Amino acid sequence: MKWYCAFVLALLLSRECISQTYPSRPIRMVVPLSPGGFADIPARLLAPRLAAALGGSIFVENRPGAGGTIGAEFVARSAPDGYTLLAVATPHVISPWLYKTLTYDPLKDFTPIVHVAAGPYVLVVNPKQLPAGSVNDLIAAAKARPGEVDFASSGNGSAQHLVGALFNSMAGVTLNHVPYKGSGPAMQDLVSGQVSVSFAGVPNVLTHLKAGRLRALAVTSARRWGELPDVPTLAEAGVPGYEATLWLAFAAPPGTPQDIVQRLYAETAKALQSPELRLGFRAAGVEALVLGPQELAAFMRAEYEKWGKVVRATGATVN
């Protein structure tokens, strides 16, 4: 019994020592999505400020592929010592419904740290192909030609796809989904008129909106977006209750010490008070929005259930 008590005491003391000296080596921040995307840019903007606050260094590592599951699995299997973090975003709670052979649980196998940002998609149309001036015009066109009005996404089962699928369900229409291999090709065909509709990130559409190549009908968030003040929300424009956002948070492997989690949360919250950082986030199409570990856990659970219903309704699958 004495040896057991001594072992437990030594373990507790070693964990306390580790947390007091944290970080003593570089922290790896894994972004499981492609470089330059909505998750990558804010992570890279935040990393140096957080590193300075912690008195250490942070390097961002992209591990894209399979809807973010490759990077997520890597972090889930990493040591719970605070030196490997995961940028979790909307696809994190969508992919488990699409990939039936995942070896991790998106909620149980991660320790929530902090929610850092959120932003809308923009419902846009090519005005030459579909001269809709409002969401109600689009709904009327879709009902007049069921399955004939195309909407582009970055791929089957992507967040863009499911945001459109949620619109179909809530608006009572059938826009025809056209998946692409990435948001770039989807936007290219939308602008050229190969497809008529898409739900796209704010930075991807601003130039085209100003040039008149695209028309914004609504944003998918609960509130209007500052750079598009005259564009209503979907709820305002005729689809009551509609809300879907891009969001970004950070998590760690299960079992990460709570004092390390709390320090990461506190320092991230402080860093996000920087006006310069907030402007950088806005340019990337999101705004700083802080939620603590418990709030983040509840939020992720709600998002997981929400998108699970959409996936089941659409029958989308990947493997």
CATH number at residue 137: 3.40.190.10
Same domain, residue pair 89 and 133: no
Q: Token match 């994190």: residue?
A: 92
Same domain, residue pair 208 and 163: yes
Q: What is the bridge-based pairing of β-strands 27-31 and 58-62?
A: parallel
- The residue segments making up the domain with residue 126 are 120-237
Same domain, residue pair 295 and 233: no
- 10 pLDDT band, cuts 50/70/90, is very low
22-54 pLDDT tens trace: 999 999 999 998 888 888 999 999 999 999 999
Pairwise CA distance, residues 113 & 250, whole Å: 6
Greatest Cα pair distance in the chain: 80
Q: Token match 């977006």: residue?
A: 225
Q: Is 222 a member of any domain?
A: yes
> Which of these three, 201, 218, 237, is where a domain ends?
237
150-165 pLDDT tens trace: 999 988 888 899 999 9
- The CATH code of the domain that includes 57 is 3.40.190.150
Q: Is 8 a member of any domain?
A: no
Segment 155-182 shows an average pLDDT of: 91
Q: Is 175 a member of any domain?
A: yes
Same domain, residue pair 88 and 129: no
Same domain, residue pair 39 and 106: yes
Joined tokens for residue 106: 């998106």
The per-residue pLDDT for 17 is 47
Q: Domain count of the chain?
A: 2
This prediction's pTM: 0.87
Q: Is 15 a member of any domain?
A: no
Asked if the model's pLDDT at residue 290 lies above 60, the reply is: yes
The per-residue pLDDT for 19 is 57
> Which of these three, 237, 271, 289, is where a domain ends?
237
Asked if the model's pLDDT at residue 171 lies above 90, the reply is: yes
State the chain's mean pLDDT as an integer.
91
Q: What is the DSSP letter of 250?
A: E
